Amino acid sequence: MRTIKGPALFLAQFAGDTAPFNSLASITRWAADCGYVGVQLPSWDARLFDLDRAATSKDYCDEVKGVAAEAGVVVTELSTHLQGQLVAVHPAYDAAFDGFATPAMRGNPAARQAWAVDQVKKALTASRNLGLTAQATFSGALAWPYVYPWPQRPAGLVEEAFDELARRWRPILDHAEDMGVDLCFEIHPGEDLHDGISYEMFLDRVGNHARANLLYDPSHYVLQHLNYLENIDIYHERIRMFHVKDAELNPTGRQGVYGGFQSWVNRAGRFRSLGDGQVDFGGVFSKLTQYGFDGWAVVEWECALKHPEDGAREGSDFVKAHIIRVTEKAFDDFADGGADRAANRRMLGLEG
C-alpha cells in the first residue's frame, strides 16, 4: 500500500481577471495559503499557463515549476478537459462548444477538431517537460444525443460512433505512450465515456491501450446513481487521477436524474462542496488506499450554494483529514510468536 498525495486544488474554477486569481504566482500563493501543497493547471488558461511554450521549452516548464515551488506547491497534472471535448463534437453541440476553441477555429468544425487534437498532444509533451506522469481530459461525444433510446436507435449507430471516437483518440494515445504520460479520461455525463460500460466499449476499440486510463470523480457517479465504491473495485488498475468532489441526488415526485431542465440549485442532483453532499469519502479513500493508489487527491470545487473561496479552504482540511497514512506493520504484530517451517508443520499436525 501507498499513501495518497495531497491536498491539491484544480485551479480552473478559480482563475479570473482580478488578483490573486489572474497569474500563476499569485494564485499558487493563494492556494498554498488555503492549505494546499499541489495545484492542477488548466492548460487552456493563458493567464496561468502558456501551453505552446510549455510544449517547446523545458526552460519555461522549469520556470513554471519554480514559480509554484516559491509559493510552496507543486504542479500535479495538466488538464485538457476543454480541448478533449472538442476532439469529438456532435453537430447539435457545435454552437455550444465553439467557445472552447481559439477564435480562429470557431465556426469551422474540422479545423476546430484538428486544433483540439494538436492541443491535447502539446499538453502531453508539456507534461513530459514538466516531469508529470498523468493528464486529465474529456473524451468528447458523438453518440451522446442518443443516450436515451427514443426514438429507437438504428442498428450500428452507437458502434459507429465509438469506432470513430477510437479512431480519433488512437494517435493521441500513441503520443501519450511516447511521452510516458497516462491520459486520464474523466467519466462524465455529456461525454461518450460516461460510465464503466461506455469506457470499456472505448477501451476495447483502442486495443486496451496502456495509456487510456481514468480520472476517478465519485460526484458524477452519485448523479447517475452508479455504485462509486464498486467502481473502484472494478477499475482500480486504470485509475491514475482523482478529483475529490461531492454531490447529492435527492429525487422527488417531480424530478429525478434528468433534473427537469432546472438550474443547478433546483435540480434533484447537484454538486456540493466537500462534506456537504452524499459521497462516502471515508469509503473512497479507503478503497483507493487499499489498491495502492498513490496519485494526488485534487479538490475540484463545484457547488450550487457555497462561495468558492470557502469551499476551497474547507476542502483542504477535508482532504487532509481523509488521507490515510499507510501502516508499516500489522496491528497484531505484538502477538507474533515467531515461526519457522518446522513449527508450522507441527501446528498442522504434520510432524510429531
User: Which helix (H) or strand (E) is 201 found in, with range?
Assistant: helix 196-205
Reference 210, options 243, 233, 242, 237; nearest CA is: 237
pLDDT, tens digit (0-9, with 9 covering 90-100), for 107-147? 999 999 999 999 999 999 999 999 999 999 999 999 999 99
Domain membership of residue 98 (yes or no) is: yes
Domain membership of residue 275 (yes or no) is: yes
Residue pLDDT tens, the chain, 352 long = 899 999 999 999 999 999 999 999 999 999 999 999 999 999 999 999 999 999 999 999 999 999 999 999 999 999 999 999 999 999 999 999 999 999 999 999 999 999 999 999 999 999 999 999 999 999 999 999 999 999 999 999 999 999 999 999 999 999 999 999 999 999 999 999 999 999 999 999 999 999 999 999 999 999 999 999 999 999 999 999 999 999 999 999 999 999 999 999 999 999 999 999 999 999 999 999 999 999 999 999 999 999 999 999 999 999 999 999 997 777 666 667 777 888 888 888 897 5
pLDDT at residue 328, as a whole number: 78
Q: Provide the grid cell at 82.
A: 476543454
How far apart, in whole angstroms, are the C-alpha atoms of residue 297 and residue 91?
35
Question: 352: which strand partners?
Answer: none
The reply to whether omega before 91 is within 30° of 0 (cis) is: no
Domain membership of residue 261 (yes or no) is: yes
Q: Are 92 and 145 in contact (CB under 8 A)?
A: yes
Number of domains making up the chain: 1
Domain membership of residue 102 (yes or no) is: yes
Domain membership of residue 352 (yes or no) is: no
Domain membership of residue 52 (yes or no) is: yes
Reference 188, options 82, 72, 309, 275; nearest CA is: 82
Reference 77, options 171, 179, 169, 183; nearest CA is: 183
CATH of the domain at 320: 3.20.20.150
The DSSP code for 187 is P
Query: 198 lies in which domain range?
Result: 5-347
pLDDT at residue 335, as a whole number: 63
Question: 270: which strand partners?
Answer: 248
Domain membership of residue 49 (yes or no) is: yes
pLDDT, tens digit (0-9, with 9 covering 90-100), for 226-279? 999 999 999 999 999 999 999 999 999 999 999 999 999 999 999 999 999 999
Reference 10, options 274, 269, 277; nearest CA is: 274
Question: What is the reported pTM?
Answer: 0.94
pLDDT at residue 334, as a whole number: 63
